[in-house]
């Protein structure tokens, strides 16, 4: 005779199996989703641009960051972590990456936005390489899923440059 406990155990095992299958399907269907995020960053102002007493260039800028990241959200998406970085080459490093701003996007409703902001983190060069320097701005994102693997990607925006002179 089956005891109640035994049946309950069988039911639990069955539920856990179904849950595991659903999780697998969830992360699989996530991989099948081909998102089409867009972003644009305008530099509205160079607030100041100086060589610090230690000899490193530092710049403060105001940007208009606009993006539509709604297509990155599926029912399996918990949240997005996003950051904007300036990327440029110097004789010493082929890639200098300076994080300027970041945010957590908790839901799809918040994934289409624009923000007028100064750099949240200091933009300091390791040297005095910035005058007249060309750079890229990149919007990076990390998609944190409810289940399955986290994934990351970015949009690169090229064609920015610093002023020729300090100001």
Ligand X SMILES: *[C@@H]1O[C@H](CO)[C@@H](O)[C@H](O)[C@H]1NC(C)=O
Binding site for ligand X (CB under 6 A): 40, 64, 66, 87-89, 95, 114, 116, 136, 156, 158
Q: Which is nearer to ligand X, 9 or 64 (CB)?
A: 64
**What is the C-alpha to C-alpha distance for residues 46 and 130, in angstroms, rounded to an integer?**
13
Q: Which is nearer to ligand X, 32 or 95 (CB)?
A: 95
Structure tokens at 105: 């996007």
Minimum CB–partner distance for residue 92 and ligand X (Å): 13
Cα–Cα nearest to 151, from 39, 33, 68: 33
Minimum CB–partner distance for residue 71 and ligand X (Å): 17
95: CB partners within 8 A, 6+ apart: 87, 89
Q: Which is nearer to ligand X, 78 or 116 (CB)?
A: 116
Q: Which is nearer to ligand X, 31 or 64 (CB)?
A: 64
List, in sequence order, every beta strand (DSSP E) within the chain: 38-51, 57-68, 77-88, 96-105, 112-118, 123-124, 134-145, 151-161
Q: Which is nearer to ligand X, 58 or 89 (CB)?
A: 89
Minimum CB–partner distance for residue 164 and ligand X (Å): 19
List, in sequence order, every beta strand (DSSP E) within 25-111: 38-51, 57-68, 77-88, 96-105
Minimum CB–partner distance for residue 131 and ligand X (Å): 17
* Residue 90 near residue 129, CB atoms below 8 Å: yes
């Amino acid at each position: 005779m089956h005891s109640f406990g035994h049946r309950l155990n069988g039911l639990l095992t069955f539920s856990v199996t179904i849950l595991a299958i659903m999780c697998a399907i969830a992360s699989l269907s996530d991989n099948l989703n081909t998102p089409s995020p867009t972003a644009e960053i305008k530099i509205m102002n160079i607030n100041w641009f100086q060589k610090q007493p230690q000899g490193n260039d530092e710049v403060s800028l105001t940007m208009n960051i606009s993006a539509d990241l709604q297509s990155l959200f599926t029912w399996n998406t918990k949240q997005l972590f996003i950051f904007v970085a300036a990327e440029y080459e110097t004789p010493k490093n082929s890639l200098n990456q300076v994080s300027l701003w970041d945010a957590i996007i908790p839901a799809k409703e918040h994934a289409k936005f624009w923000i007028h902001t100064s750099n949240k983190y200091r933009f300091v060069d390791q040297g005095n390489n910035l005058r007249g320097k060309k750079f890229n701005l990149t919007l990076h994102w990390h998609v944190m899923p409810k289940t399955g693997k986290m994934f990351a990607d970015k949009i690169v925006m090229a064609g920015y440059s610093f002023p020729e002179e300090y100001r």
